Amino acid sequence: MHYTQAHIGALDTRTRAHFINSLSGFKSANLIGTQDDQGHTNLAIVSSVFHLGANPPLVGMIIRPHSVARHTFENILKTGFYTINQVNQSIYSQAHQTSARYDRDESEFAATGLTAEYLSDFHAPFVKQSRLKYSVKFVEHQHLAVNGTELVIGEISDIYVDDNAVEDDGFIDLQALDTVAITGLDSYHITTKLARLPYAKK
């Protein structure tokens, strides 16, 4: 099939969202944990987390346009702290439910049955059921005028991961953690590693 720009533009809003969101392939599924200055916890699934650098350890993510209340984004800007919690097979349906629109004083932790935990006196809550999670300190954000989204950049401070998943060279075996991937807006997948290849040289 060949979809022209005109064809894409003619799709209804929901169909176009599913179609275009699927183009980029498998993405990581992560739960972003935050807390406001009143102590209200928030949890939101995000599929746009990406590596920015190892030294310092930086991570970025894209937040949808701030045209409606975005509790996660607002909490990050106000407190400067958040956690990133990888989604695994045992919690993917609960993680997906966090995408529903809850009021600010409704905790997605309570609504989905996920457990908030606080580690090393970090301000933002972690997801206890996540097997790979890390605390992040907000560094900067950039408003992307092209579509109204927000690029959020943070520096990783503490990482918590199951012992059996970290190999001798530092590689994290995500398959050992039962990590799931996401495509589009609502399709979750398990993974099978093909191989680790040697460093490519001419």
Predicted confidence (pLDDT) per residue in 166-200, tens digit: 999 999 999 999 999 999 989 999 989 999 899 99
Residue 85's nearest CA partner among 49, 39, 139, 122 is 49
**pLDDT tens per residue across span 43-65:** 999 999 999 999 999 999 999 88
Please tell me the distance from the alpha carbon of residue 126 to that of residue 104, in angstroms, as a whole number.
Answer: 18
Q: What pLDDT score does 68 carry?
A: 62
Query: Are the CB atoms for 93 and 112 separated by under 8 Å?
Result: no
Q: Which residues of the chain have pLDDT under 50?
A: none
Separation of first and last alpha carbons in the chain:
38
Q: What pLDDT score does 72 carry?
A: 94
Residues in the chain: 202
pTM for the structure as a whole? 0.94
